[in-house]
């Protein structure tokens, strides 16, 4: 993370052991987060195809959504309420990318959509739709 700017999203990411376990990175451009999940053998769920584990793809989308929320609502305690992931095609053993769009940022809850792809952004591998609870930043009323 040495080259990443100290944005709220990268600060949030750096604090998560599980994100490190996956090898998740983020790239930031104008406040927009792109999640990057470099391929690693331990992410495989189907050795025959081979394909990434569906759980890894879902977690990657959720983490990208959380990183985008961290960027938009710095310091807020964000907790996932629910996510629905649609799997459009199998995720191959290559690097993956994801972007999240916050459809609504309320005071208490946010509605977010996210898309993951590999290689060709116009051919998404999975999409997410979810709700996230926003708590006040620690130390604020």
Binding site for another protein (CB under 8 A): 15-18, 20-22, 41-49, 52-56, 58-60, 62-63, 79-87, 90
Nearer to another protein, 66 or 72 (CB): 66
Nearest by Cα to 98 from 74, 63, 140: 63
3 state SS of 58: helix
119: helix, strand or coil:
coil
Tell me the closest approach of the beta carbon of residue 91 to another protein, in angstroms: 11
Least Cβ distance, residue 30 to another protein (angstroms): 27
Which H helix or E strand runs over 114? strand 109-117
Kindly state the smallest distance separating residue 23's Cβ from another protein, in Å: 11
CA distance 14 to 141: 26
- Least Å from the CB of residue 126 to another protein: 9
Torsion of CA 121, 62, 39, 23, to 10 degrees: 140
Q: Between residues 12 and 29, which has the closer beta carbon with respect to another protein?
A: 12
Query: Which one, 17 or 29, has the nearer CB to another protein?
Result: 17
């Amino acid at each position: 993370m040495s080259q990443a700017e100290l944005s709220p999203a990268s600060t949030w990411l750096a604090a998560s052991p599980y994100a490190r376990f996956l090898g998740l990175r983020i790239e930031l451009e104008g406040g927009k987060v792109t999640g990057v999940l470099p391929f690693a053998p331990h992410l495989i769920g189907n050795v025959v195809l081979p394909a990434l584990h569906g759980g890894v793809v879902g977690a990657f989308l959720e983490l990208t959504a959380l990183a985008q929320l961290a960027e938009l609502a710095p310091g807020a305690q964000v907790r996932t309420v629910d996510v629905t992931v649609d799997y459009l095609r199998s995720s191959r053993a290559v690097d993956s990318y994801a972007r999240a769009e916050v459809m609504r940022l309320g005071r208490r809850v946010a509605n977010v959509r996210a898309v993951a792809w590999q290689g060709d952004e116009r051919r998404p591998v999975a999409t997410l739709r979810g709700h996230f609870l926003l708590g006040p930043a620690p130390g604020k009323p």
